[in-house]
Amino acid sequence: IARIRDICGSKGRVIGAVSGGVDSTVAAKLMHEAIGDRFHAIMVDNGVLRLNEAKQVHEMLNKDLGVNLTVVDASDLFLSRLDGVEDP
């Protein structure tokens, strides 16, 4: 926690990407513990997540762990770019 505070400093905001997996969830929680509401997590819903996964991640991080999280719905853009792709 102290190392994170040293790296981030005492001013400004920090953003971090999360996937909802163990690694990014732990990292987000540590960031929140270190710098509080100055940390904001972002998750991109690409349209190929499990059913309700983005909602579940939001509830876990925001409600259960107190981490500020914004879920960006990029599913239409992502899926449109896959149109015609047979073997990504």
Please indicate if the annotation marks 25 as binding a ligand. Answer: yes
Please indicate if the annotation marks 20 as binding a ligand. Answer: yes
Q: How far is residue 72's CA from residue 79's CA, in Å, rounded to a whole number?
A: 14
Q: How far is residue 15's CA from residue 12's CA, in Å, rounded to a whole number?
A: 10
Domain CATH number, residue 66? 3.40.50.620
Q: Confirm whether 87 is domain-assigned.
A: no
Q: Confirm whether 63 is domain-assigned.
A: yes
Indicate the average pLDDT of the chain. 96
Q: Confirm whether 57 is domain-assigned.
A: yes
Containing structural domain, residue 32: 2-81
Q: Confirm whether 88 is domain-assigned.
A: no
Is residue 77's pLDDT more than 90? yes
Please indicate if the annotation marks 75 as binding a ligand. Answer: no
Is residue 58's pLDDT more than 80? yes
- For the chain, how many structural domains are there in total? 1
One-letter amino acid of 50: R
- Per cent of the chain over pLDDT 90 is 94
Q: What would the pLDDT profile of 12-52 be if each residue is shown by its tens digit? A: 999 999 999 999 999 999 999 999 999 999 999 999 999 99
pLDDT of amino acid 87: 83
Selected residue with higher pLDDT from 88 and 84: 84
